[in-house]
A and B are shown apart, each in its own frame.
Chain A
Amino acid sequence: MRKFLFGVSIFLMLPFIGCEDNKADDTEGALQIIEVTTDNVSDGPYYFNLVTGKKDASTWHIVYQNLDVPFGNSVYQMPSIALSTSSMLNIDSNNEFESITTYPDASTFAPEAGRMQYGGPNTALSYDMAIHKVGVSDDSYIIYDTVTHKVFKVHFDEYSGGIVIFRYAELID
């Protein structure tokens, strides 16, 4: 019976299968994409150096920490992402993370200035009060290190219980 049901279902689903997107990525092989799992933000700020690919509290580009956020008469601690002052930011909301292979013109970079922090216009982490869940942005963040003049693309994939997974890759023009 299960086989029969399955068989008939496949037949009926064929029109749907025909709509499937083919998202094969032929550019991914060109860049080395690295996945990072942070520590739990409740244990303290997490600093990451994109150039060395290591957690580093002294020389870093990305910090993941709790921010005091006022809600009404109260203050909550919300997880937030920020950049170091030596980093400049460009936000790509139009392209898939995997498809970004080149970096934009240098004039398009600007200080982070709270844009990707909690409550910012392109916040990397947001909190949905309706379902009490922290969500991650679909945006890709292009980060320019003004010290080493290297450019990285970063994408935040998942947040769960204080821990974030993000991916990054160096963009070479």
Chain B
Amino acid sequence: MRQLFLLIIVSTSLITGKSYNDKISGIIIDDNTGYPIPQVNIYLPNEKIGTTTNIDGRFVIEGTITFPAIIQISHIGYTTINQVLDSLPNQQLKFYLKQELINMDELVVTATRTKRKISNTAIATEVINRKDIENSGSRNVAELLSQRAGVSLQTSVAGGSILNILGMDSRYILILIDGQPITGKFNNRVSLDQILTDQLASVEIVKGPGSSLYGSEAMAGVINLITEKNNKLREINISSRYGNTQNNINEYGIKNGSSNFGINFIQPVNNLVFDITMNIEELQKDKSVQEIDIDNVKKIVLGSNINWNINDRNKLNFKSSIYDQIDNGTTKLMNTNTDIDRKNFSLSNQTNYRNGWNINQTLLTNNYARNYIQKRPWGTLEKDDLTTEKHLEYEILINKKNKLNELNAGFEVYRANYSSDRINSGKQEIISKSLFGQYDLNIKNKINMIFGMRYDDYSKDYRVFSPRLGLMYIFSEKFKIRTSWGKGFRAPSFLERYIDWNNVAFNYLIEGNPELKPERSNGINVGLDYSRNSNNQISLAYYYTNFENLIQDYTKRKGVLSYQNIYAANFSGFELMYQLRMSNTWETKWVFNWVKNRDSDNNPIPNTIPFSISGYLNFNILNNFINNSINVKWVAPYKPQEFDVKTATYILSKDKLNGYALINSRLTIKIKNSINLSLVLNNLGNYTNENYGPFIGRAAYLEISTKLKKGNKE
């Protein structure tokens, strides 16, 4: 009976041409590098079955397959292959995927908190990808962003950097690392020169108020520094560089240069992927702010990122970042020592459910300590200030996707402790609870709408509601328009609320104001995108943001300064961006930026650069043996701010600063397949301005780097 049953089945399959439990296996290889590609999607559309490649780029797909069958092989950043299989292959298949010319449609996370293609979100987002970062020749995030039009670098009291973005102080731009806040601000700002570019995979910039997703500080925009490289292959990257500035060489000789050594190690072990990074940087007489007496700066970064794919539904991620910076300054009258420690740890779990629901939970702790010591050369201790900040946060993010629409909702709670010799009672604490939600509605692949809102409750002090609306309309394959409106806020900092500090040298007192209200913003963006093809894109954006309750210091009474909510302003401008990749060997990108910023009396706001242009040209010659990147930035004449002694306020300088251009060049020679030698020349025109920057003139560094992939090259 059983034999008869088998005979019937075999006969039926022969007659219908169908087979059962067919098995296709193969390997997917990068056509350019020859290395296998993990996580490639393999799909049989007629059979509706699919799989993905493993760490070694191999796949096995099983099921009932009708031949001839179509097999689809796709991966972000590669051209999709559709191939017809006439019959069941009797050996392993081998496919070579070609990298797409330009990746203008990259995945971004900042606009929605989940990975989405840039083209599929109504919130305009700009991406500086890893290649752009490498070509920029910049050592830290401050240098990287300052190369961009509309961004300028200013000095801070501590010798760090203050970014001015579109005429706006960087304290109104929320800076995140992998979507999480950075603890340890000095003078209410994150020192972006403390974040080295070697750590970064990309930088995402979202313009316009973003508090509906991220809460405080996202008044004018969000900059998310992405460190996760998404690389699943065994890999070792090592780089070492040495450089110096012309001024330093003239004054101190070549030995007082700056050096950097970095190593990145990626090792997959079964379902675990370990990504370990270490970077050591030492700057000698190479401060970016020459006004500050710092002779020697050492920065050490240790980072780890461990991903564990427990099973198809559960993922666990552990991230750690330990940063240590030591600044030493020596003059005839004072020796200074600043020690900055930053320790960040996060543990997150992602669970995917069959019905499209995903739950992501994150627990993170950030600790920051800054110890500043002033000691006279003859031994007298003048100052020993310690500031510490501890941030403990739990976040749950619920995500539901269907074919066109997506819901993101979440809850955050954090406790922040701040202790400093400069604040009232020496220690303060704040607890914040936040609820947020965002719904992305897609109508017939023509219209994408975003509805978002967030409610922040800062203990008993104040509560803030931040809404956001976004709309994208796709006219055709070439044209789309994006517009968004949102509200943002910045909660008053610990220092602004609780500072209690007497400046002994100048005999004045600064008192905090616990009654300060949050600063508020209300902004709209409108943008038009034109894509001629995947290698040619123009976008034009207009933005207008109104600010209220801005916090400003004032003279409370004789000899006493404090803070109050008095200041209002509106910032507006246009930005035109053009990207073009002419071939595999030539690409260029240009940004034109026009800014008009006014206070409530319609007076121009100092330090606003009204017009600037930035761009780069990158090209390969001699069959990719030599790569050259030239970055250019031109800043139009503008009026900086100066301090008016009579009114004790910052006013617009009467004299304009002349326009200037900054040119950086990076030349990379491929010595061997895995070894590159790069020469970077920054500020070729040697332009400096000792009052307003740039403070460093012409500089050069030499870098040798190697990338060793341990996967089996096919």
**Any B CB within 8 A of the CB of A93:** no
Digit string of A70-92 for contact with B (CB within 8 Å is 1, else 0)? 01111111110000000000000
Residue in chain A with minimal CB distance to B293? A160
Cβ-defined contact, B647 with A74, below 8 A: no
Name which of A15-23, A49-57, A98-106, A140-148 contacts chain B.
Answer: A15-23
Cβ-defined contact, A37 with B504, below 8 A: no
**Any A CB within 8 A of the CB of B507:** yes
Known A10-B254, A131-B291, A158-B333: A72·B647 in contact at CB below 8 Å: yes
Query: Nearest Cβ in chain B — how far from A78, in angstroms?
Result: 6
Cβ-defined contact, A72 with B334, below 8 A: no
In chain B, residues 201-237, which have Cβ atoms closer than 8 Å to a Cβ of chain A? none
Name which of A26-34, A107-115, A161-169 contacts chain B.
Answer: A161-169
What is the size category of the interface that chain B forms with chain A?
Answer: 35 or more
Residue in chain B with minimal CB distance to A5? B242
**Any B CB within 8 A of the CB of A172:** no
Cβ-defined contact, B559 with A163, below 8 A: no
**Any A CB within 8 A of the CB of B584:** no
Bound-state Cα–Cα, A134 to B504, Å: 14
Digit string of B632-660 for contact with A (CB within 8 Å is 1, else 0)? 00000000010101111110000000000
**Any B CB within 8 A of the CB of A58:** no
Cβ-defined contact, B249 with A13, below 8 A: yes
Bound-state Cα–Cα, A77 to B641, Å: 23
Known A9-B702, A13-B254: A161·B505 in contact at CB below 8 Å: yes
Known A158-B332, A165-B332: A72·B649 in contact at CB below 8 Å: yes
Cβ-defined contact, B331 with A160, below 8 A: yes
Residues of A close to B314: CB separation below 8 A: none
Cβ-defined contact, A162 with B291, below 8 A: no
Digit string of A126-149 for contact with B (CB within 8 Å is 1, else 0)? 011111111000000000000000
A162: contacting residue among B155, B505, B557, B701, CB under 8 A: B505
Residue in chain A with minimal CB distance to B698? A16
Residues of B close to A6: CB separation below 8 A: 242
Cβ-defined contact, B254 with A132, below 8 A: no
Digit string of B364-401 for contact with A (CB within 8 Å is 1, else 0)? 00000000001010000011000000000000000000
Query: Nearest Cβ in chain A — how far from B115, in angstroms?
Result: 38
Cβ-defined contact, A5 with B702, below 8 A: yes
Cβ-defined contact, B559 with A75, below 8 A: yes
A16: contacting residue among B246, B331, B561, CB under 8 A: B246
**Any B CB within 8 A of the CB of A12:** yes
Cβ-defined contact, A9 with B559, below 8 A: no
Bound-state Cα–Cα, A132 to B157, Å: 7
Residues of A close to B382: CB separation below 8 A: 161
A37: contacting residue among B250, B257, B333, B555, CB under 8 A: B333
Cβ-defined contact, A71 with B648, below 8 A: yes
Query: Nearest Cβ in chain A — how far from B263, in angstroms?
Result: 13
Residues of A close to B289: CB separation below 8 A: 131
Bound-state Cα–Cα, A12 to B157, Å: 34
**Any A CB within 8 A of the CB of B679:** yes
Query: Nearest Cβ in chain A — how far from B110, in angstroms?
Result: 32
Looking at chain A's contact residues, the main secondary structure is mixed
**Any B CB within 8 A of the CB of A24:** no
Residues of B close to A17: CB separation below 8 A: 249-250, 254
Residues of A close to B507: CB separation below 8 A: 66, 76-77
Residue in chain A with minimal CB distance to B554? A72
**Any A CB within 8 A of the CB of B508:** yes
Cβ-defined contact, A131 with B155, below 8 A: yes
Residues of A close to B558: CB separation below 8 A: 73-75
Cβ-defined contact, A9 with B242, below 8 A: yes
Cβ-defined contact, B250 with A71, below 8 A: no
Residues of B close to A130: CB separation below 8 A: 155, 641, 643
Digit string of B309-339 for contact with A (CB within 8 Å is 1, else 0)? 0000000000000000000000111100000
**Any A CB within 8 A of the CB of B240:** yes
**Any B CB within 8 A of the CB of A45:** no
Bound-state Cα–Cα, A134 to B637, Å: 28
**Any A CB within 8 A of the CB of B243:** yes
Cβ-defined contact, A133 with B291, below 8 A: yes
A5: contacting residue among B157, B291, B505, B704, CB under 8 A: B704
**Any A CB within 8 A of the CB of B618:** no
Bound-state Cα–Cα, A165 to B555, Å: 32
Residue in chain B with minimal CB distance to A73? B555
**Any A CB within 8 A of the CB of B5:** no
Residues of A close to B243: CB separation below 8 A: 9
Cβ-defined contact, A19 with B157, below 8 A: no
Query: Nearest Cβ in chain B — how far from A39, in angstroms?
Result: 12
A12: contacting residue among B560, B646, B679, CB under 8 A: B679
Cβ-defined contact, B506 with A72, below 8 A: no
Residue in chain B with minimal CB distance to A11? B702
Residues of A close to B254: CB separation below 8 A: 9-10, 13, 17
Residues of B close to A159: CB separation below 8 A: 333
**Any A CB within 8 A of the CB of B40:** no
Cβ-defined contact, A157 with B332, below 8 A: yes
Residues of A close to B240: CB separation below 8 A: 1-2, 5
**Any A CB within 8 A of the CB of B241:** yes
Query: Nearest Cβ in chain B — how far from A13, in angstroms?
Result: 5
Known A42-B505, A76-B506, A160-B333: A119·B645 in contact at CB below 8 Å: yes
16 contacts between A and B (CB under 8 A): A1-B704, A2-B242, A9-B254, A9-B702, A12-B679, A20-B249, A71-B555, A71-B648, A73-B555, A77-B507, A127-B506, A131-B289, A133-B291, A157-B332, A161-B382, A161-B505
The 6 closest A-B pairs by CB, nearest first: A72-B648, A160-B333, A71-B648, A129-B643, A77-B507, A160-B334
Q: Given known contacts A37-B333, A69-B645, A78-B506, what 18 new A-B pairs fall within 8 Å (CB)?
A: A5-B259, A5-B704, A8-B702, A13-B700, A16-B698, A17-B254, A20-B250, A72-B555, A73-B557, A73-B558, A74-B555, A74-B557, A76-B507, A133-B291, A158-B332, A158-B333, A161-B334, A164-B333
